[in-house]
């Protein structure tokens, strides 16, 4: 096969990326519930509808060590109708759980921002639990250039 | 290591019923438990595992953190304030210590 100079460089970069990603994927550490299992445990098997939650993430994260994430959930946030919890998951991390936020009727809005670590390109999932026991979710893909779980 | 230093931003004043935004940050390396030291041995996990915000003694917001939260964990969230009072913020470390900060807000009208 004849390769142009450009293709050769592209291959080199790809190989370097693979080498960098390698140590992050230590299988022994990856034990634990998967993202789907974690969602099931959170909802008790109830279906989380893809509505009401809006997750805002960068499309491309250059540095997986600190990826800004924010979410908001549509809710009047009154004492009898509010969001009680929001669980954030990263399905491609060695352990998918990121954080769980607890809201109250004094929260005013069900929204929060934080910064998280992502080991590689993956989906971020936010699942919201409402005070009436229903669940809603949103999912966004984040492309990660440099993973953030050490190695 | 000196105690991690919390930094919190709460508006000084607000109108009754206003939804205010609070920003918090604490210096903490959030050791994930996945990194190795120079000898190739895993560095044990040490993170802030819980953050809580109380207003006049009532919990208003909290978060359970896992190692996927970045170093120097940062949170931004909202609170609807009806009266003047004091916010108390607490961060709980895996090593058993906890760090706190307090801020007062004056609510008018």
pLDDT digits (tens, 9 = 90+) for B95-106: 999 999 999 999
Segment B89-98 mean pLDDT: 96
Q: What is the rounded distance in angstroms from the CA atom of residue B6 to the CA atom of residue B100?
A: 7
Query: B38, B40, B66: which to substitute to probe chain A, counting the most A Cβ within 10 Å?
Result: B66
Name the residue in chain A with its Cα closest to that of B63. A101
Q: What are the residues facing B74 on neighbouring strands? A: B25
Question: In terms of Cα–Cα distance, which of B77, B36, B54 is closest to A111?
Answer: B77
Mapped onto helix, strand or coil, the DSSP state of residue A41 is helix
Of the pLDDT bands very low, low, confident and very high (cuts 50, 70, 90), residue A31 is: low
Chain B neighbors of A102, CB-CB under 8 A:
59, 61-64
B4 touches chain A (CB under 8 A): no
* Domain range A5-142, CATH architecture: Sandwich (2.60)
A101 touches chain B (CB under 8 A): yes
Segment A44-67 mean pLDDT: 94
B63, B76, B78 member nearest A100 (Cβ): B63
pLDDT at A4 over 50: yes
**Which H, E and C letters describe chain B, residue by residue?**
CCCCCEEEECCCEEECCEEEEEEEEECCCCECCCCECCCCCECCCECEEEEEEEECCEEEEEEEECCCECCCCEEEEEEEECCCEEEEEEEEECCCCEEEEEEEEEEEC
Q: What is the DSSP letter of A76?
A: -
Instruction: Give the per-residue pLDDT at A25.
Output: 42
Q: What are the residues facing B50 on neighbouring strands? A: B64, B92
Question: Is the distance from CB of B50 to CB of A92 less than 8 angstroms?
Answer: no
Residue scoring higher pLDDT (A66 or A7): A66
ipTM confidence score: 0.94
Instruction: Give the per-residue pLDDT at A146.
Output: 78
Instruction: Give the per-residue pLDDT at B50.
Output: 97
Q: Which two tokens stand for residue B42?
A: 């895993």
The C-alpha angle with vertex A54 and arms to A50 and A56, in degrees rounded to 5, equals 130
Chain B neighbors of A97, CB-CB under 8 A:
66, 68
Residue scoring higher pLDDT (B63 or A34): B63
How distant is the Cα of A17 from the closest Cα of chain B, in angstroms? 19
pLDDT at A23 over 50: no
Mapped onto helix, strand or coil, the DSSP state of residue A64 is coil
Mapped onto helix, strand or coil, the DSSP state of residue A17 is helix
Name the residue in chain B with its Cα closest to that of A112. B77
Instruction: Give the per-residue pLDDT at A22.
Output: 43
Question: In terms of Cα–Cα distance, which of B32, B34, B24 is closest to B4?
Answer: B24
Report the first-to-last Cα separation within chain B, whole angstroms.
45
Q: What is the residue extent of each domain of chain A? A: 5-142
Q: What is the rounded distance in angstroms from the CA atom of residue A110 to the CA atom of residue A53?
A: 9
A102, A113, A114 member nearest B62 (Cβ): A102
Instruction: Give the per-residue pLDDT at B109.
Output: 75
């Amino acid at each position: 096969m004849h390769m142009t100079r450009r293709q050769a460089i592209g291959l080199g970069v790809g190989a370097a990326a693979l080498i960098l990603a390698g140590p992050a994927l230590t299988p022994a550490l990856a034990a634990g519930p998967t993202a789907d299992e974690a969602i099931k445990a959170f909802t008790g098997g109830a279906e989380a509808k893809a509505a009401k939650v809006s997750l805002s993430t960068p499309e491309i994260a250059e540095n997986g060590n600190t990826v800004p994430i924010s979410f908001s959930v549509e809710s009047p946030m009154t004492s009898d109708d509010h969001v009680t919890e929001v669980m954030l998951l990263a399905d491609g991390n060695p352990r998918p759980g990121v954080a769980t936020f607890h809201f109250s009727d004094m929260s005013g809005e069900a929204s929060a921002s934080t910064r998280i670590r992502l080991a590689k390109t993956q989906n971020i999932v936010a699942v919201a639990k409402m005070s009436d026991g229903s669940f809603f979710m949103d999912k966004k893909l984040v492309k990660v250039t440099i993973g953030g779980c050490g190695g | 290591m000196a105690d991690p230093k919390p930094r919190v931003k709460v508006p000084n004043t607000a109108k009754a019923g206003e939804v205010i935004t609070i920003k918090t940050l604490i210096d903490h390396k959030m050791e994930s438990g996945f990194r190795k030291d120079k000898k190739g041995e895993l560095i044990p996990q040490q993170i802030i595992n819980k953050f809580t915000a109380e207003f006049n003694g009532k919990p208003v917001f909290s978060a359970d953190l896992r190692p996927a939260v970045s170093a120097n964990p940062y949170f931004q969230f909202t609170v609807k304030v009806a009266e003047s009072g004091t916010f108390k913020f607490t961060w709980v470390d895996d090593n058993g210590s906890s760090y706190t900060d307090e801020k007062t807000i004056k609510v008018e009208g």
